[in-house]
Amino acid sequence: MIYRFRHGIIEPLGLLWLTLTVASVVIGAVAWSRFSHSIDATAEAEEIRESIAQIFSMLRDAEASQRGFLLTGNPTYREAFTKAVHTLPEAFQRLAAAGRHDAAEQADLTELRRLADIELAELRQKIELYPGKGLTGPEAAAIPAQLETTMERIREMIKRRRDNRLDLISAAGSTTRRQMKLVHQMTWMAGLLGIGAGVIAFYFYRVDYFQERGRRQLLEEKLQAEQSVREKSAFLANMSHEIRSPMNAILGFSELLEPDGLTPKQAQYVRAIRDSGAALLHLINDILDLSKLEAGKLELHPDPTDLRDSCEFLRTVFGEQAVTKSLQLQFEISPNLPRALLLDRLRLRQVLVNLLSNAIKFTERGSVKTRVSWEPQGVGRSGTLLIDVEDTGIGIPAEELEEVFKPFVQAVARQKAEKEGTGIGLTIVKRLTELMGGSLTVDSKVGKGTIFHLRFANVPVSGRLPVGDHAEPGGAVDFNDFAPATVLVVDDNPTNRAYMAGIFEKTHHQVHYATNGREALACLAHTRPDVVLLDIRMPLMDGRTALMEIRKQPSLVSLPVIAVTASSNAGEELELQSQFSGYIRKPFSRQTLFAALAQFLQRESPGNGLEAQTLGPTFATILTLSPDQAAQWQELALELRRREATEWPVLRDTLAVNETRAFAHNLFTLGQAAQCAPLTTYAAALTTFADAYAIGQMEGQLAAFPKLIESIERSSN
């Protein structure tokens, strides 16, 4: 506002001030020139007036001298006349020089000189007609009359010239006075305007000064805020690392306790520990994601994504929760939805997980429905992806619809429902959606339910096959499936070393331990392990330096070294994946470790048959089950036979990796629901082969599927 006002008034004001100043200078110069000319004219007029007065005085003296001579006959009276005769020519020359610039003046002076000459001639004649020389009678009487006439004409001319000159001087003076008055007024106006402009300029200078000072303060505050963000990011990254390390032990040891002979209450306690630890880990991830979003450091990694596979993943994740609350979990997918869209699959999954989690959390009866539709654009290489997540829950008041997207804020109705949560889930959902170029809106009615609308425009259709959206392999795994191997564990945290010792405690593998990079190099000097699990942050020598030293030794160039870190930095994760043979992020489960080692360790082969190569002893053993568990396994066997008749033949013939991965994921879910360890082990191994693109082993594992079903059927009968 002030900026526009300043530019709107300063320029016209400056232009007006400059115009008045120039005009006053020009008019002042003209007035001064005229005033100077008027002074010169006045001086010239005064000089002419004095010269004329002098000439008139000499003529009068000559006339008086002539009278005195005529009356007395004394020759001394003729001196004034004689002086006038000699002086008048010089006086007329001076008078002519003074009036040389005025033609009218020159004409009058010529006429005046002529009359003066006549006057002198008449006086001379009268003297010469003095009675003593014989002039008498009418001639002597006529001369005085002629003299009187000439003198009258001279007086008349002198009076007229004096009056004209006074009029000219008066007119010139009046004009000069008017011009000087105008100059005076304009000078005052220019001066006042200059003072006003100076005051305004001073005002704007103060405004600019305070604005500049304000800008500097804002810049300093901005730099301080950026420094605070960097410090906060560094603090959160460090805290994430420090929290993930003990979380690894909490989740890991609770997992190790599960297979042991625990009482039902002890098993419940262990599950509570694991669930609470998983919830805490989820909270840590949310806080880190929110921090990265605020700092603008969260990067997207689009890859081919099949929304059908993602919906199956969501059905698996939330199916049990929905059944527990007697809710219908529904997914509606448009038939024209492409098989592969170029999206950040993990971030989209995070968005949908948060929305579905909230929907199930705040819905006590009815259903939770997810609708996925597609609007193609152009020739079909891109389009608009629409996702609606609808529930029949408690709803959100209209005046609080925008509030729920603010960090650490929950709607009053949801607070009254006393549901747990931090209130940052929807904040992350909205910001992730906007980061992916989409929009998020919500419609809700209290007591009726809520609908969240996701819209992603200009989503490219990918020509590559989609990546499976399967869950992490889980369930029971047996590290004895690997051939006996030597493993070097390098970690400065004794609890993490104890956790690794617990994992390998009942296996036939040999494990060595080191607390830093230097000890690891010393151990490698006399021991050649099959694989190294190397922590990144350690004292004395960290993981990166240790890897560099290992690779310097020719005999250890091909040694598999797996990075184990609690870092949450996505950039660091990509860097580690490019440098190390493998990558594990804390906290990790037995299944994650099994999958990482499966890429480098050979499988145990006790027999020659395919059955032994792929699944170990699980097919040959008939397990003793309780009646309830036997009934579950019978239903499981029926479901597996159905899949054997529908899905399995296609996978066996095509060996499609992504479809096989999804098939293994579904089997793993079924095995967990029925507490069927052989099925979860089979599914974990199949997932490992699919992830590693080990086509030969994957083919063998698929071929053993009928044998697995027979084993489950025998145990359930």
Give dist(CA 4, CA 286) in Å, integer. 46
Percent of the chain beyond pLDDT 90?
10
Q: What is the average per-residue pLDDT within 156-161?
A: 70
Q: Which two tokens stand for residue 332?
A: 């509606």
Confidence class of residue 582 from pLDDT cuts 50, 70 and 90? Answer: confident
Of 184-198, 326-340, 398-412, 477-491, minimum mean pLDDT range = 398-412
pLDDT digits (tens, 9 = 90+) for 62-83: 777 777 777 777 777 777 777 7
Q: Return the pLDDT at 275.
A: 64
The string of DSSP codes covering 447-515 is: TTEEEEEEEEEEEEBPSSPPBP-PPPP-S---GGGBPS-EEEEE-S-HHHHHHHHHHTTTSS-EEEEES
Q: What is the average per-residue pLDDT within 351-358?
A: 86
Give dist(CA 555, CA 559) in Å, integer. 8
Confidence class of residue 416 from pLDDT cuts 50, 70 and 90? Answer: very low
In this predicted structure, the answer to whether residue 130 has a pLDDT above a threshold of 90 is: no
Q: Return the pLDDT at 575.
A: 76
Which range in 117-121, 257-261, 286-290, 669-673 is most confidently predicted, on average pLDDT? 669-673
pLDDT digits (tens, 9 = 90+) for 192-219: 766 766 677 677 777 778 888 888 888 8
Phi, psi of 449 (to 5 degrees): 135, 180
Q: Return the pLDDT at 618.
A: 42
Q: Return the pLDDT at 333.
A: 92
Q: Return the pLDDT at 412.
A: 43
Q: Looking up tokens 């617990």, which residue turns up?
A: 502
In this predicted structure, the answer to whether residue 640 has a pLDDT above a threshold of 50 is: yes
Q: Return the pLDDT at 429.
A: 84
Q: Return the pLDDT at 134.
A: 40
Q: Return the pLDDT at 259.
A: 58
CA–centroid distance for 536 within its chain: 34
Q: Return the pLDDT at 518.
A: 92
In this predicted structure, the answer to whether residue 693 has a pLDDT above a threshold of 70 is: no
Q: Return the pLDDT at 256.
A: 73
Confidence class of residue 362 from pLDDT cuts 50, 70 and 90? Answer: confident
Q: Return the pLDDT at 409.
A: 52
In this predicted structure, the answer to whether residue 329 has a pLDDT above a threshold of 80 is: yes
In this predicted structure, the answer to whether residue 480 has a pLDDT above a threshold of 70 is: yes
Give dist(CA 216, CA 21) in Å, integer. 38
Q: Return the pLDDT at 141.
A: 43
Which range in 158-167, 197-206, 595-604 is most confidently predicted, on average pLDDT? 595-604
| Contact in structure between 683 and 664 (CB atoms under 8 Å) | yes
In this predicted structure, the answer to whether residue 421 has a pLDDT above a threshold of 50 is: no
Q: Which two tokens stand for residue 258?
A: 């599960």
Kindly give the residue spans of alpha helices, DSSP state H, lying in 258-306: 264-295
Give dist(CA 717, CA 712) in Å, integer. 9
Mean pLDDT of the chain: 75
Q: What is the average per-residue pLDDT within 175-189?
A: 68
Of 34-38, 351-355, 369-373, 555-559, minimum mean pLDDT range = 34-38
Give dist(CA 635, CA 713) in Å, integer. 10
Give dist(CA 637, CA 671) in Å, integer. 10
| Contact in structure between 615 and 704 (CB atoms under 8 Å) | yes
Which range in 4-13, 96-105, 348-357, 541-550 is most confidently predicted, on average pLDDT? 541-550
Q: Which two tokens stand for residue 5?
A: 């006002």
Give dist(CA 86, CA 717) in Å, integer. 172
The 10 Å Cβ neighbour count of residue 244 is 21
Q: Return the pLDDT at 513.
A: 93
Percent of the chain beyond pLDDT 70?
67
Confidence class of residue 348 from pLDDT cuts 50, 70 and 90? Answer: confident
- Residue that wins the pLDDT comparison between 238 and 4: 238
pLDDT digits (tens, 9 = 90+) for 485-540: 999 999 988 888 888 888 898 889 999 999 999 999 999 988 889 999 999 888 88
Q: Would the pTM of this model clear 0.75, i.e. be above it?
A: no
Q: Which two tokens stand for residue 709?
A: 């079903």
Residues in the chain: 717
Q: What is the average per-residue pLDDT within 412-437?
A: 65
| Contact in structure between 265 and 515 (CB atoms under 8 Å) | no
Give dist(CA 486, CA 75) in Å, integer. 166
Give dist(CA 421, CA 354) in Å, integer. 11
Name the β-bridge partners of 368.
329, 391
Asked whether the CA dihedral 636, 641, 647, 653 is positive or negative, the reply is positive
Q: Return the pLDDT at 191.
A: 67
- Residue that wins the pLDDT comparison between 15 and 145: 15
Confidence class of residue 236 from pLDDT cuts 50, 70 and 90? Answer: low
Q: What is the average per-residue pLDDT within 178-193?
A: 69
CA–centroid distance for 491 within its chain: 42
- Residue that wins the pLDDT comparison between 602 and 369: 369
| Contact in structure between 516 and 538 (CB atoms under 8 Å) | yes
Pairing between strand 303-305 and 341-343?
antiparallel
| Contact in structure between 84 and 60 (CB atoms under 8 Å) | no
- Residue that wins the pLDDT comparison between 369 and 477: 369
